[in-house]
A and B are shown apart, each in its own frame.
Chain A
Amino acid sequence: MRSEYIIETEDLARYYEVGGEVIKALDGVNLRVHRGEYLSIVGPSGAGKTTLFNMIGGLDRPTRGRVIIDGVDISQLDAYELAWLRCRKIGYIFQTFNLIDTLTALENVALPTIFAGVPRDEGERKAKRLLEAVGLGDRLNHKPRELSAGQQQRVAIARAMANDPAIILADEPTGNLDLYTGMEIINLLRDLNEKRGVTLISATHDLKMIGASDRVVYMRDGKIEKIEKGGQYPSIDFP
């Protein structure tokens, strides 16, 4: 049974205790994300965007409420199953790329396929195809430090796609990039979203990203303030 929503959160809350004081990083978030949707999450820092990502990605456990991914309540999963979820269903993209410096671009992209149990040569073939798809077919054996910031983020996107995830979580993917490179990355993500049907959720301050998305979720103080339709800002021309 496939539900209409790929992600549902019900009254999701995460409280931290810091120095005897309770901090409500998330406080009752109800969010439903359609399959293949491109969702932007906007809000000041401390609004709970990253915490929400960590919850959806199964990296952190909620204080209250539920996260349902593809019909599965992830609080019911054990550590193995959560790791599988992170490995196969979800791809991560970070502001700081987080590539592994000692591995080449190809090995970085192939890394998630190891955990997925894909045979080595098959994983590397796949990684090569993905790197070609993001326009880095001639940089397979370069180390992250030999690549520009935009190229590193492309490698990170290819890595996020390595196990054909249903969802990509992108935390400020253009935050460390200049305007033009940021646009390229947004186009690439939008392309993946449209051509491969990947559900894309990105936390962002970037107006260009907000413009490209289907819906925009505004967060403040751990709550959803409002949800608007995207595309209100000048959209981007796709080459």
Chain B
Amino acid sequence: MEEKREVGRITFSLIDAFRLGYDNVKRRFNRAALSMAAITLGIAFFSTLSLMDTFFRIHTQAEGGGLRMESYQYWLLLVSLVVCVVSITNSMLIAVYERYREIGTMKCLGALDQHVLKLFLVESIILALLGGSLGYGIGLVASIISVTFTLGFNVVLKTPPTSLLALLGETILLSVALSTVATMYPAYRAAKLDPVEALRYEV
């Protein structure tokens, strides 16, 4: 059908973007690990605090008393998440410069601005899923250790698994949101790159 048209259209499905993005994360693992470390740390901190909060609430319901998180801890959390976003942005910007020629070449081969944007955002989502899960795992272990020493392991057993799962969901969502926000600017830079300039660029 496409043969009949003088000029057709270009495609780049989400599946292709995920495949290319996943390959890229796998093969540039050092660079990816840096971005992921930022997400993992921020998310680990977030999930530790949230899980502690959950355990405290369960404990309070069962035994009474007024254990809760201090408000300054939420400030710390906010600061740490901002730092996390900034470091992902930084690391992604460097990735864009490293891949200048590659982006130029892809545009020469027919990729549109939006495809480059898609590729970078998809990569950031992959990193967010990995980093977020890892961060939650670290947070879970850290908070269980902490709670076991202060309140005893019983609290953990009393906590319904659904609330832990719900928190996992929230954490992943937050992780994807943070990573997407952080990657917006680098991805835009990559997408707007002039292929003529990019191919002249010596790395």
Contacts and interface: CB of A to CB of B under 8 A. Distances in A.
Smallest CB-CB A-B distances: 7 pairs:
A87-B110, A117-B11, A102-B27, A115-B110, A98-B105, A112-B109, A81-B7
A88 B11 contact: no
Contacts, number: 82
Interface stretch (B48-56, B58-66, B111-119, B174-182): B111-119
A80 B112 contact: yes
Q: Of A70, A71, A103, A114, which is in contact with the most chain B CB atoms at under 10 Å from its CB?
A: A114
Interface string A50-62: 0000100101100
B24 interface: yes
Contact of A103 (B8, B16, B23, B115): B23
Given A80-B10, A88-B8, A59 B196 contact: yes
Given A85-B7, A103-B23, A59 B113 contact: no
Contacts of A115: 10-12, 109-111, 115
B7 A86 contact: no
Given A60-B196, A94-B199, A84 B105 contact: no
A86 B105 contact: no
A177 interface: no
Given A54-B196, A98-B101, A100-B102, A72 B7 contact: yes
Interface in A30-81: 54, 57, 59-60, 70-72, 77, 79-81
A133 interface: no
Contacts of A116: 10-11, 110
Interface in B178-197: 195-196
B76 interface: no
Nearest to B113: A79
Given A79-B113, A111-B106, A84 B23 contact: no
Contacts of A79: 112-113
Given A85-B7, A88-B8, A115-B11, 12 more contacts: A59-B108, A59-B196, A83-B10, A83-B107, A83-B112, A84-B9, A87-B10, A87-B109, A103-B23, A114-B20, A115-B109, A117-B11
A79 B102 CA distance: 20
B158 interface: no
A222 B195 CA distance: 21
Interface in A84-138: 84-88, 92, 94, 98-103, 107, 111-112, 114-117, 120
Contacts of A54: 196
B136 to A, nearest CB: 29
B6 interface: yes
Interface of B: 2, 6-12, 16, 19-20, 23-24, 27-28, 101-102, 104-113, 115, 195-196, 199
Contacts of A120: 16, 19
Nearest to B115: A115
Nearest to A71: B6
A80 B28 CA distance: 30
> Quick one: which of A77, A98, A99 has the most chain B CB within 10 A?
A98
Contacts of A99: 105
Nearest to B102: A100
Given A83-B10, A98-B101, A92 B109 contact: yes
B34 to A, nearest CB: 16
A100 B105 contact: yes
B7 A84 contact: yes
A72 B108 CA distance: 19
B1 to A, nearest CB: 11
15 contacts: A72-B7, A79-B112, A81-B7, A83-B110, A84-B9, A84-B10, A100-B106, A101-B102, A102-B27, A115-B10, A115-B11, A115-B12, A116-B10, A120-B16, A120-B19
